[in-house]
Structure formats: C-alpha cells, structure tokens
Structure 1
C-alpha cells in the first residue's frame, strides 16, 4: 500500500492546472501600409543587424560603446535582472524539501537534592546531547500550485531580460538622435553667425548711406533689427549646443570627448544607413518591449494554475530523525536514535468564496496582460508605419528645401545688388535676406529629420544583433 501511494504521488506531483498557453494572433494588419506616403518595401525579412552596421561613423560608435559601459539605466536594468533571477530561484526552491539540522547540549543540576542530601530515587542532574535532521511542512505539489508560481517567476525573469534589451535599444537610438541633434545645432550656429556677420555689414553700409544723404534712417533701423535677430539666435544656438552636450553626457554616463562630436549636419549626412522594413509585420514580435509584454502574459497565465490549485487540499510531509544521549561518546549509537514521520492535510471547508475569487482575479489579470500585449504590438505597428510614412516623403521635402535655398540665395544676391545700385529699396533686400535665413534653417531641420527617421526605423523595428546575442 505504501509503495502504491508513493507511485501515485510521483505520478501526480507537478501536474499543472494552468490553461495551455496559445500565442495570440497579432491584432495588426499582416503588411505595412501602402500608398503615396510610403516607399515600396522589399518582401524579404529585415536582417538582424548590429548598430555598427547602421551607424557607420566611428565617432558615434565610440560614444555608443562608452554608453553601454557607463549608462545608469543599463545598470538599473542589470540589477533588475539579477533580482528577478533570484526571485525565480526562491520560487523554484519551494518545490524541493527543505532539510534542517540542529545540535544541542544542555546541563541540569537538581539543587534541592544537593542541599538536603536527600535521595528521591531519580536524578535531574547531568548533561544531555542531541542532534536532529529533518524536514518540516514539505508540501507535495500534487496540483501544480508551486510549479505554476515557479513558472510565473521564470516568465517574469525572462520579461525583465527583455526590458533590459529594450532599454539598450532605446539608449542606442537616443544617443544617435542626440549626436545628430548636436550636429544640426552646430550647422544652425554657423548660419546664425553668417547672418550676423552679413547684418553687421548691412548696418555699416546703411549708416554710410544715411550719412551721405542717400538712404533714410528707416533703412538703418531695419538693418539693426536683422542684426539683433541674428545675435539673439546666435545666443540661443550656443545654449542649445551646451544643452546637447549635457544630454549626451547623461546618456553616456560619463564626459564625452569633444573630438567625437560632429562639426555639422552636412558632414554626417551618410552616417546612418537604411534598414529595409520588409512587408511582413510579424517582425514586430521580436521587439524587446513586445516580448516583455508576452512574457508577462505567460506569467499571468501560469498564475491561473496556481489559483486553481489553491482550491484543492494541501498535503504537507514532516520527517525528523533524532539522536539523544547523556554522553557524547554514545550519541551516535543505535540506542540513541529515534525518528518520526507524519503527513498533514489542510483544506478550507468554508472561505466565503475566496478561492474562487482568487481564480477570477487571476483570469482578469491574464485578460489585462493580454490587452497590454496586444496594445504593445499595435503601438509598435504604428511606430513603424509612422517611420515609413516619413521615410517615403522626406527625400521630396529635402529636394524642395534645397531648391528653395538656392532660389532664396540668388534672390538675395540680386536684390542686394539692386539696392546698392539704387534701383530697389532696402526693404526688398531685407525681405530677401530674411527669406534666405529661413530657408537655410529649414534645410538644416529637414536634414536632421531625414537622418533621425532612419534612427527611428531602427528603433521601431527592434532588431539588433548584439541584443539578440545577449538574449541567447
């Protein structure tokens, strides 16, 4: 009978009452949007590449590598992984019996007998040695409650690793954006300097013309307005560049070598290569944040099994082996040995529906995790679609802005020459100068958007070879 019970226990232990996990279908279209705003995509699955394959400038690569070593968010993520791993081990250990051992020594003296000289026929005086080893309240996991909790902890550990990969992916993209923004601000600073220099010449020229009786005082005041505007923009760009450096240093977690910073956005136009998006939106399932949401869904699914198992009786085993003797030399003899074993069964006859409510709660949490997972996929789809829409139109915008700069520059040269020749008013030259200034700034902004769009697509697709290697 005992052997049959042991066989039955071994067969039923570890059975899970959790629902079978089935990966939900992605709640997004199978392909990316098409239309006038989108480039035609290749039908191939985008490769899993390293950031080094896309960010080709060695200066940017060095900054990213420095950040991967020093960034505090990555250190926090690493600590969270260690904590989740330890929590899984704690839950896993609950499945196994905990064996404890103890040893003791006591000495007692019957003071009454010693003082009166009496003899009662027995003595309470002397030494006593004990040694115990055993397990207490080891729960037989007949219905898989402990295993379900262990599996939930394991899935959350995996989710924490995915969160760390997401942090790394975001960090790489943020550094690339900050580096490009610094380059654009350097270009805007040069434009402001050029405009201020040109405005200073205009002020000097109009003052000379005023002193010669050729130009009215309004020309001088208008030229001074352009100069003041350029000087204000110059101060603003200096502030922006200083703040760009501060942002980079925060991301890197250490000072950034000035030699690694780009001098202009024009100089780093080809620093970011294109990553083909492909036609199949299922690539979103490899994004770290989507994977993290799925691991949380798996954990919630496992917790349903733990809640269901909690509705059934719990069986706990207790075993104790003891050695006791009045002499240390005879402690390990056969006569000093004793043992005991027992089993306890606990079951709540009435709990006011608490156990069923626990199952209902775990199912509701699973439903919430499912909705979170689906929303993560939908948000990822939107990010990729937005990046593709911007990518499909940015080159047209860039060419149009370049044509605008060329036309504005030519207009300014002609109107300025006509003003100097006394043919046009200074107002015409002033308007042309302002148009050129605006066109040049718009051109820089477009170049930044075009480069940042490639960074956004890299981040939205969520595939980095180094990240994938860490996952494996």
Structure 2
C-alpha cells in the first residue's frame, strides 16, 4: 500500500520537474538609460496644469486634439488605415507563433492505427511452416517524440516567442500613436495650405489694385514703363504662388485620403478656427525615465532584448543531452478482425538520448545568440537616445515658438504700415514704385512666414505629445482597446 501511495504522489512531482526543468538563460538586467536624468530646460519654467494627468501617455487624444472635425478624422483613420490593419494582424501572427512554440512544452497525444505487411524470402523464414507473408495490425493512443526539457531549451524558446509577441503588441501601439499624429499633422498642413492660399488670393487682389493705379498713371504719362513692368512682375509672382499653393493643398488632401483609407464623409463636424486653441495648451512632460515605462517603442525594444536573452539560454541548452520519449498504448494482432480483443493489449515506449560530440554548429548558435543579444542591447539604448532627442527637440520648440510668433506678428504690423506709407508717397510722386514693390514683398513674406511658423508650432506640439508616448488611448482615464495578453505567459511560468 505504501509503495502504491509513493508512486501516485511522486508522479506529479516528476512530471512537473520534467516540464519545468531548469533555465540556462543569463539573469536579465535592464541596461542603464544612456541619457541625462533631466531634459534641457531651455529657460522655460513649468507651465500650470501639468499635473492634470500622470503623464502624457495617459492623456487621451480626444482631450489633446480639441477640433471636432479632427477628432472625427482620427477615428476614421484608426478604423480604416491599412498600416493599422497590418499592425493588428502582426500582433495576431506573433500571438499564434507564441502559441505554437508554447505547445512544444507539453506532450502531443493522438489516436491512430498501423498495418504492416511483410514478405519474407524462404531462406530467411524461421521454419518450413512459417508463412511467406506476415501481417501485423496495431491501434491505440500514442505520444509523439516528446522532449524532456531538463535544461530549459524549449522553455527559453517559448519565453523568446512570448517576448516577441509582447514586442509586436508595443509595435502596434507605436503605429497607433504615429497614425494619430500623422492625421493631425496632415490636417493642420491642409488647413495651413488653405490659409496661405486665401492670403495669396487677397494679396493678388491688392496687387491688382496697385497695378491698376500704375496703369492709369502710365496712361496719363505720369509713370514710366519701369513702374508698369514692376507692377506686372508683382502680379505674375503672386499668380505663380497661387498655382504652387493650389498644388500643395491638393497634395495635402491626397495625403489625408491615404491616411483615412477612404473618402471623408460629407457630414463631418464643423472645424474649429485654425490656431493654437485646437490643441491642449499644456502637456505633462515628466522625466526621461518615464519614457522607459510609457513609450511603446522603448518597451518593445526591451521585450526584444529579453527575448534575445532567452535565446541564449536555448543555445546553451543545446550543449547538453537531448532526451525524448515516443510511446504507444493500445492493441496489436496478426489479424485485423481480432485486433481489439482483450488478449491483444499492447504497449511500447522508446526513450532516446542524444549527446552532441562535435559541437561546432552548437557553439556557433551560442555565439550567434550572444551577438544578437548585444545588438538588441544597442538597439534598446539607441531607441532611448532617439526618444530623448525627440522630446528635447520639441521642448526647445515649445520654449521658442511663442517668442518667434510674437516677433513675426509685430513684423507683419510694421510692414503693413510701411506699405501704406509707400503707396501714399508714390501717389504723391515722392518715391518710385520700387518702394511700393519692396513694401508689398516684405508684407507678403512676413504674412506667409507667420502662417508657416504657426503651422510649425502646432506640429511641434503634436510631435511632443507623440514623443512622450501619448496618442494610443482615446480618453484620459480609459484603458485602450489592446489585444488580450495570455493569462499566464512564459515569463510568469518562469518565476
């Protein structure tokens, strides 16, 4: 009785040991972030309201982008954009690959049958009465070659597949963030092109008026041919700009169509007035260390690094013996009709042990795994450095765009006043038309520069939001709709 109890209680323990085994993977340690502990300040004090949410990654894009029309366009793009669809399917692909690899940790059972018919030459028969043709029939429950993972090879391969799945999920989030930012940038570019085209058309009307004045003076013999040609040149210049801006507007519309994946519906909400009020005024920046836990591309790079670390364990395990078992439990009989009779019970198991002797290829696989881990470390560190630079660049923009726009606004006012004075002096015959022409060029240049800088300011804030990891949730405080993660992954099983 005691021996039977021992066998029953020892069986689960032995099974667990065979399934769990040990791991030869190096202990994972996160590399130090190769960036400063603080972002450059650029002389900019903290703005009020930055504690509204814990971090920009927790700030929903519906709260950040306040224009209802832009919100509707982003929603359409997230549903129809082909890059987004590809990213979602990549996650499903990685998840399926992880499931396939995980299944190798458990035995595979199957029900099957086998028939063997053999003709033996007369010289090889056991006796004179032995039949020339022998038949054997087998049927039952079988186990295919199942590797006893004592050294963690399969376990580490499963962990690597799991980390690849998680990395792909983070890549999907990165595509999500990028798509939201691209739609916003395309929308603002289109709105800015419309503003510049409107400015060019108003400038055309103004220059047409100047040309008419010069033409009347020329017809009256007061102005010379040079003034008339200069006025004509101003008209031709602005017509060329209108043609260019019309082309840019059409290209911006085409870019938007590509991002949306369809024609925009006719019942879009009314757009807000184009300007800085279309975006949230303040974004919580935090510290560079926050990026490690919130920016998807950095998280994905670390999952890839952890997968590379697990592959080293699998490569190390290849130096040790490989033990596998194949077995069958069922019935065997020389006649098909009596195969399943009680006297024909049959079982067999076949353990197999393989020990590498000449391990050139095995050693090469370990070298390859270690080299790939070193590459993954460098890629992880570079991802952090790129993220730090992107945030620092956009913070520099946040600190300087306001002053630049104020200066351009003042420049526009002064050039407009100069143009009025130049026109009066020309009509009074004090100055030539060259002064009017110069003043018109200066005003138009200042107006276009103001619009372009305003656009750059909006795009910079969008880039800051994206660089900080924001844009993959819709509303603040509401979890994003992400692919379901397995309840117990390889990482959890390893603990």
TM over 0.5: yes
Residue number among 226, 235, 238 corresponding to 1:227 in the alignment: 235
Q: Quote the Cα distance in structure 2 between the aligned partners of 1:106 and 1:7.
A: 38
Task: Give, in angstroms, the shift of residue 404 of structure 1.
Answer: 0.7
Kindly indicate whether residue 27 of structure 2 is the aligned counterpart of residue 20 of structure 1: yes
Q: Quote the Cα distance in structure 1 between the aligned partners of 2:116 and 2:355.
A: 39
Task: Give, in angstroms, the shift of residue 135 of structure 1.
Answer: 1.5
Describe the SS at the equivalent of 2:238.
helix
Q: Quote the Cα distance in structure 2 between the aligned partners of 1:305 and 1:454.
A: 44
Which position in structure 2 is the counterpart of 1:423? 430
Kindly indicate whether residue 278 of structure 2 is the aligned counterpart of residue 274 of structure 1: no
Q: Which shows bigger deviation, 169-178 or 336-345?
A: 336-345
Task: Give, in angstroms, the shift of residue 97 of structure 1.
Answer: 1.1
Describe the SS at the equivalent of 1:341.
strand
Which position in structure 1 is the counterpart of 2:175? 167
Which position in structure 2 is the counterpart of 1:210? 218
| 1:14-413 correspondence runs (5 A) | 14-36=21-43, 38-40=44-46, 45-47=54-56, 48-103=58-113, 130-257=138-265, 260=268, 267-285=274-292, 286-325=294-333, 330-352=338-360, 354-413=361-420
Q: Deviations over 1:78-123 (max 9, x none)?
A: 11111111111111111111223213568999xxxxxxxxxx8676
Q: Deviations over 1:228-265 (max 9, x none)?
A: 0000000111111110000001011111246659889x
Task: Give, in angstroms, the shift of residue 373 of structure 1.
Answer: 0.4
Q: Which shows bigger deviation, 141-150 or 89-98?
A: 89-98
Q: In structure 1, list runs of 5 or more residues that go unmatched.
A: 110-119
Q: Which shows bigger deviation, 278-287 or 5-14?
A: 5-14
Q: Quote the Cα distance in structure 1 between the aligned partners of 2:270 and 2:202.
A: 19
Q: Tell whether the 8 Å contact from 2:181 to 2:471 is kept in structure 1 after alignment.
A: no
Q: In structure 2, list runs of 5 or more residues that go unmatched.
A: 120-127, 485-495
Describe the SS at the equivalent of 1:270.
helix
Q: Tell whether the 8 Å contact from 1:87 to 1:153 is kept in structure 2 after alignment.
A: yes
Q: Quote the Cα distance in structure 1 between the aligned partners of 2:118 and 2:395.
A: 86
Task: Give, in angstroms, the shift of residue 279 of structure 1.
Answer: 4.0
Give the TM-score normalised by structure 2. Answer: 0.86
Q: Tell whether the 8 Å contact from 2:112 to 2:142 is kept in structure 1 after alignment.
A: no
Q: Deviations over 1:55-94 (max 9, x none)?
A: 0111000000000000000111111111111111111111
Task: Give, in angstroms, the shift of residue 321 of structure 1.
Answer: 2.0
Describe the SS at the equivalent of 1:470.
coil
Q: Tell whether the 8 Å contact from 1:137 to 1:316 is kept in structure 2 after alignment.
A: yes
Give the TM-score normalised by structure 1. Answer: 0.90
Q: Tell whether the 8 Å contact from 2:322 to 2:354 is kept in structure 1 after alignment.
A: yes
Q: Quote the Cα distance in structure 1 between the aligned partners of 2:269 and 2:239.
A: 24
CA 1:153–1:321 in structure 2 vs 1: closer, same or farther (change >3 Å)?
Answer: same
CA 1:309–1:275 in structure 2 vs 1: closer, same or farther (change >3 Å)?
Answer: farther
Aligned-residue CA RMSD in angstroms?
2.7
Q: Quote the Cα distance in structure 2 between the aligned partners of 1:278 and 1:456.
A: 12
Q: Quote the Cα distance in structure 2 between the aligned partners of 1:441 and 1:257.
A: 31
Which position in structure 1 is the counterpart of 2:491? none
May I ask how many residue pairs the two structures share in their alignment? 460
Describe the SS at the equivalent of 2:277.
coil
Q: Tell whether the 8 Å contact from 1:183 to 1:261 is kept in structure 2 after alignment.
A: no
Which position in structure 1 is the counterpart of 2:465? 458
Describe the SS at the equivalent of 1:463.
coil
CA 1:418–1:257 in structure 2 vs 1: closer, same or farther (change >3 Å)?
Answer: farther
Describe the SS at the equivalent of 1:162.
helix
Q: Deviations over 1:118-177 (max 9, x none)?
A: xx8676789975413211321100000000000000000000000010001001001100
Task: Give, in angstroms, the shift of residue 449 of structure 1.
Answer: 1.3
CA 1:278–1:75 in structure 2 vs 1: closer, same or farther (change >3 Å)?
Answer: closer
Task: Give, in angstroms, the shift of residue 434 of structure 1.
Answer: 0.8
